[in-house]
Amino acid sequence: MALIGTLVNGLAIIIGSLLGLFWRNIPEKTKTTIMQAMGLAVIILGIGMGLKSKQFLIVIASLAMGGVLGEKLDLEGKLGQLGHWLEAKLGGKEKSGIANAFVTATLVFMIGAMSIVGALDSGLRHDHAVLYTKSMIDGFCAIFFTSALGVGVIFSAVPVVLYQGLIALFATQIDRFVPDALMQQIIIEITGTGGIMILAIGLNILRLTTIRVANLLPALLFTILIVCIVYYWDKLSAFAGGII
C-alpha cells in the first residue's frame, strides 16, 4: 500500500514520455517555445518553494555544505555518466541528448516538496492524494520534456520510483522516532532548499546558466541534519532554562 502512489507516479512519467515521442517531429521553433515556457514555469515553482523557508540561514548553510560534498562526490558527473551509458546502449546520435534529458528530467521530478510530502503521506497514512496530483503534473511535463529533449526523459522514472519509494517505506516507521513538530520543520526547510535547486534547474533549461544542480543534492541531507540540531538545541535550552 505504501508504494502505490510512487508506482503511479513512475507510470505517469513513462506514459507521458511515450506520448512525447510522437511529438518529436514538431518544428524546432515550437520545441524552443515549449522549453522556454517550461523553464519559466519551473523558475516560478522554485521561487514559490524557496520563499516558504522559515529559517533561510539553514537553507544557505545547507546549500553551501551540500555543494562542497556534492562537488567532492561529483554527483552531476555520475548522473551524466549514467545518462551517457543509456545513450550508448540505445545508440543515441545526438551528443549528450539522452544524458541531458535524463539528468534534467530526473532533477525536476525528484526535487521538490511534493516528492517528499507525497511519499511521507503514502508511508505514514497510506494517503496517495499528493503523489496522484504529482503524477498528473509529471506526466504532462514528461510529454513536453520528451518532445523537446528526447527519449532520455523516460528513464527518469527509475530514480524517481526508487527515491520516493525509499522515503515511503522509511515513513512507515518514522513516526516512532521523529516528533510531528520536528517533521513539519524538516518539510518546510527542505521545501525552501529544494526550491533554490528547482530555480537553478529552470535557469538551466532557459540556458541562462550551467549550474551543476545535482552536486547540490546533499544539501537536502544537511537541511535535515541542521533542522534536527536546531530543534533539539532549542528543547535543551528550554529545559535548562526551566531548571535554572
As a whole number of Å, the end-to-end CA separation of the chain is 49
Nine-digit cell string for 212: 551543476
- Across the chain, where does the E strand assignment appear? none
Task: Return the pLDDT at 92.
Answer: 53
SS (H, E, C) 101-147: HHHHHHHHHHCCHHHHHHHHHHHHHCCCHHHHHHHHHHHHHHHHHHH
Nine-digit cell string for 167: 522515503
Q: How does residue 112 score in pLDDT terms, banded at 50, 70 and 90?
A: low
- Smallest CA-to-CA distance from 105 within 67, 66, 159 is with 159
Is the distance from CB of 17 to CB of 140 less than 8 angstroms?
no
Q: How far apart are CA 164 and CA 181, in angstroms?
A: 22
Tally the C-alpha atoms within 13 A of residue 164's C-alpha that lie toward its C-beta. 35
> What is the residue whose three cell numbers read 510530502?
117
Task: Determine the Cα angle at 139 with ends 108 and 160, to 5°.
Answer: 45
- Smallest CA-to-CA distance from 220 within 104, 102, 73, 58 is with 58
The sign of the torsion formed by the CA atoms of 123, 125, 126, 131 equals negative
Task: Return the pLDDT at 123.
Answer: 85
Task: Return the pLDDT at 38.
Answer: 77
Q: How far apart are CA 35 and CA 200, in angstroms?
A: 15
pLDDT at 35 over 80: no
Q: Express each pLDDT in 145-200 by its tens digit.
A: 888 788 889 999 999 999 999 989 988 887 778 888 998 898 889 888 888 988 88
Q: How far apart are CA 76 and CA 172, in angstroms?
A: 30
Task: Return the pLDDT at 77.
Answer: 84
> What is the residue whose three cell numbers read 551509458?
85
Task: Return the pLDDT at 162.
Answer: 94
pLDDT at 237 over 90: no
Question: Domain spans of the chain?
Answer: 4-243
Average of per-residue pLDDT values in the chain: 85
Q: What is the DSSP letter of 94?
A: S
Q: How does residue 95 score in pLDDT terms, banded at 50, 70 and 90?
A: very low
